[in-house]
């Protein structure tokens, strides 16, 4: 949205939400998971504006990513590769189901 509607450069459009997400205070019992989920969302948001054409698609993409991240929290240790993988699978699942939803 930052890039397509406000002409913010792509790299900054991905960095700004990630940076703001690192500054948000979360309870320590959640560890780094809220920030990691925000960071994964910035990866998913870097897909082409031609793929995500509406706000509802963005909401569905976020829900898919949240579910996948929650399911994989205890499956893999650390964050390396998991966040990008969650973002990729989220966008891929949205595109596969898009024909039936939109």
pLDDT in tens, 30-47: 888 888 888 888 888 888
Residues 77, 80, 33: CA angle, nearest 5 degrees:
65
The position carrying tokens 């569905």 is 60
| pLDDT the model gives residue 101 | 53
Give the per-residue pLDDT at 82.
85
With H, G, I as helix, E, B as strand and everything else as coil, classify residue 45.
Answer: coil
> Which residues lie closer than 8 Å to 65 by C-beta, 6 or more apart?
37, 40, 41, 44, 86, 87, 90
Confidence of residue 54 (pLDDT cuts 50, 70, 90): confident
Position 26 confidence tier, pLDDT thresholds 50, 70, 90: very high
Q: CA–CA separation, 102 vs 15, rounded Å?
A: 29
Q: How far is CA 52 from the centre of its chain?
A: 12
């Amino acid at each position: 949205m930052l890039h397509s509607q406000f002409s913010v450069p792509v790299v900054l459009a991905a960095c700004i939400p990630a940076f703001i997400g690192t500054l948000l205070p979360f309870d320590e019992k959640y560890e780094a998971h809220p920030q990691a989920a925000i960071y994964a969302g910035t990866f998913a948001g870097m897909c082409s504006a031609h793929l995500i054409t509406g706000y509802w698609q963005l909401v569905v993409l976020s829900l898919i990513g949240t579910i996948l991240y929650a399911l994989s929290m205890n499956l893999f240790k650390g964050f390396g590769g998991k966040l990008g993988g969650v973002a990729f699978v989220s966008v891929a699942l949205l595109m596969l189901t898009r024909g039936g939803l939109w």
